[in-house]
Structure 1
Amino acid sequence: MRMDRLRHDRRRQAGRSLVEIMVALAIAAVILAAILITVSGTGLSGRRYDAQARLNDEGQVALSLMNRHLRMAGFWIPGSPVQSLDSEDMLRGCRNGFNNPTAANFANLSCASGAGNDAIAVRYDGRQPGITPTDCLGASAGIPADGWVDNRFYIAQSPSTGNPALYCRGNGGGGPEALVDNVEAMRIQYGIAAQGTLSDDPVVFDPPAYGGRTVRYLNADSIASCASGSTPANSWCAVTSIRVCLLMRTEDGAADEPNTPYIDCDGNTTSQADRRIRRAMVTTISLRNRTSVSAP
C-alpha cells in the first residue's frame, strides 16, 4: 500500500513539473513575441523618423535656395547707368509651368496650358565689387558682361532617380539641373501692393509703380502685364512678395500604412495609394527690389 502511494505521489510530482515547463514555455513565447514586436516597431519608427528628418532638411534647402535668388528680382548696382535698351521684365511666373523653361531669352518664356506645377523666373544684376556673378547653379561663364543673372525654377522628373525634383536653369552656362529631389509639387502666389498714384511711367530701374503694404495674394494667371503707360493694379509692377509652397515627399515605404493623409499646397486634405510621407512647406519672400518694366 505504501509503495503504491509513493508511485502515485511521484506521478503527481512529474505531472506538475510538466505543467510548469509548459507554462514557462508559454510565458517565454509571449515575452519573445513582445520583444520582437517592440524591436520591429522601433525599426519602423526609426526609419519613419529618419525619413521625416530628411524630408524636412531637403524642404528647407529647397526653400532657402529659392529665397536667395527670388528676393533679388530686379536688383541693380546703385550708381550703375540705366540700360535703356533692356526690354525685359524682372519677374515672370506661370500657373502651369513654362512651355520652354530652357528658352535662350527671358522674354521668350511662355506659359503652358492645362494642369501642371507653377514655375517662376527672375532677373537681377549679379555684379558686386570683387565678386564674379553666378547663377542658381553656381556657374558664371555664360553670364553677359553687364552682369544680368537669369534663373528659372520649375518641377520636372529627374532622369537619374525617376522622382519629381526642383530644377533650376540659369544663364551661367550648361543646361538645367535638379537642385532637390522628391519635390512633388510647387505652388506660387504673388503679394500685390495697394494701388497708389503713379508718379511717372514705370521703366527699368524706376521705383515701384505701386507702393504700400501687401493687400492680397494672386496666382500668376491673375496678374496682368506691366506695360509702360498702362499699369493695371493687379500687375507685375505691384508685386511686393512671393509665397512659395513646395510639396515634399519621402521615398516609398517610409509611412507605416498606405494612403497616409496630408494637406497639399492648395489646403486640401488628400492621400495617395503609396507609403510615402508628404508635407507642404511654405515660405514668404519679400522682394528687395520691386518689379518694374522696360522703357518704351
Structure 2
Amino acid sequence: MMKKRQPGFSLIELMVALVLSMLVVIALVQIYIGTRQTNRTQEMQARLTEDGRFALSMLQRLISQAGYRPPSEALAADRLAPDATTPSTKFVLRTKGDGTNIVNCNGAAIASGTDTTLTIQFASSKLSCITSGTTPVTTDWIATQTGGRGTEVVDFQVMYGIDTAAAPNTLADNYRCGGAGVNRDCVADSYVTTLPTGVTSVQIVAVQLCLILRTEMADAGISKASAVKDCSGTNISNSQTDSKLYRQFQSTVLLRNR
C-alpha cells in the first residue's frame, strides 16, 4: 500500500522563497536609505538657501538706505565707508532714522531723526552687523544650530563701485553725485576692494557682495568633482573631500540719492 504524500513545501521551494524574500527586503532597505539621504540633502540645501537669502536681503536693505536718508552734515560724506584696515570684509553705514522705513541690524525701525551707525563685518567665521549706541548691539545674521544642522559662513567679500569719470559739462546740473558742484555721472566705472588714492567714500555709488555658505553637517553621499572656489577664485581648503554642501550668493546694490 502506497503512502499518501503530505501537503507542504519542499526544501527547494522554501529556499527559493527565502531568497526572494531577502531580495525584496534588501530592495526596500536600499529605497529607504536612498530616500532618507535625498531628504537630508534637500534639507541641507534648503537651509543654505534660506540663510543666504536672508543675509542678502538684510544687506541689500541696509546698504540701499545708507544714501537714502542722510545723517547730519558731519557724517554725510561717509554714508558708506570701507573700514581702513579690512575694507573687503568690513564697512560702515550711516543713516538717519524716520521711525518707519529706516531699520537697524535687527530690522527694527530707527527712531525719527536719530543718527545711526551700522557696521557690517566678516570675522571669526561670522557675518555680523553692529548697531551703534550707548551699548552697541551685535547681530549675527547666520548662526550655528544645535546638533550641527545649520550653516557656516566660509567667505564674504565687498567690492565698491566707484564713480570716477566726469560727466559732460552740459549734464553738470542734472548729475551731481556727491553734492552740488560735483560733476560726475552717478555710474560705477570700476569695482575695487580698496579705494584708490584720491578716491573718497563719496564716490561710492554701488556695492557688489559675495557670500559663500557651507553646511555644518557632512553627508557621505555628497561628492564634488573639484574644490569649491572662494569669492577671490581661490580653492577652499578641503572643500573637495569634506562631504559638505556649498553655495555662493552674489548681489549688486545701488546706493540711493548719491
Question: TM-score if structure 2 supplies the norm length?
Answer: 0.76
How many Å apart are 1:216 and its aligned residue?
2.5
Residues 252 and 274, structure 1, Cα contact 8 Å, conserved in 2: no
1:192 alignment partner AA: I
2: CA distance between counterparts of 1:177 and 1:252? 23
- 2:215 aligns to what? 250
Residue ranges of structure 1 left out of the alignment (5+ in a row): 95-109, 158-163, 226-231, 291-296
- 1:196 aligns to what? 166
Alignment of 1:233-244 (within 5 A): 235-244=200-209
Q: 1:119 aligned to 71, 78, 90, which one?
A: 90
Aligned-partner SS, 1:176: strand
Residues 105 and 131, structure 2, Cα contact 8 Å, conserved in 1: yes
Question: TM-score if structure 1 supplies the norm length?
Answer: 0.67
Paired residues, number: 241
2:68 alignment partner AA: F
Residue ranges of structure 2 left out of the alignment (5+ in a row): 144-151
- 1:68 aligns to what? 61
Quick check: 1:218 aligned with 2:187?
no
1:137 alignment partner AA: N
Q: 2:115 aligned to 107, 124, 148, which one?
A: 148
- 1:99 aligns to what? none
Residues 203 and 218 (structure 1 numbering): CA distance in 2 closer, same or farther, change over 3 Å?
closer
How big is the alpha-carbon RMSD for the aligned residues of Structure 1 and Structure 2? 3.7
Q: 1:265 aligned to 221, 231, 251, which one?
A: 231
How many Å apart are 1:87 and its aligned residue?
7.7
Aligned-partner SS, 2:19: helix
Residues 135 and 20 (structure 1 numbering): CA distance in 2 closer, same or farther, change over 3 Å?
same
2: CA distance between counterparts of 1:205 and 1:154? 28
Residues 22 and 132 (structure 1 numbering): CA distance in 2 closer, same or farther, change over 3 Å?
closer
2: CA distance between counterparts of 1:88 and 1:194? 16
How many Å apart are 1:75 and its aligned residue?
3.3
- 1:98 aligns to what? none
1: CA distance between counterparts of 2:190 and 2:177? 24
Measured against aligned partners, the alpha-carbon deviations of 1:90-127 in whole angstroms (never above 9, x if no partner) come to: 22224xxxxxxxxxxxxxxx4149xxx7112111222x
1: CA distance between counterparts of 2:78 and 2:182? 13
Q: 1:278 aligned to 222, 243, 246, which one?
A: 246
Measured against aligned partners, the alpha-carbon deviations of 1:18-65 in whole angstroms (never above 9, x if no partner) come to: 112111111111111111011011111101101101110110000000
Alignment of 1:1-296 (within 5 A): 17-76=10-69, 83=73, 85-86=74-75, 89-94=78-83, 110-112=84-86, 118-126=89-97, 128=98, 131=100, 134-138=103-107, 147-157=114-124, 164-172=125-133, 173-181=135-143, 182-196=152-166, 206=180, 210-219=184-193, 221=194, 223-224=195-196, 232=198, 235-254=200-219, 256-257=221-222, 261-268=227-234, 270=236, 271-290=239-258
Query: Could you say which structure has the larger radius of gyration?
Result: 1
Q: Percent same amino acid among aligned pairs?
A: 25
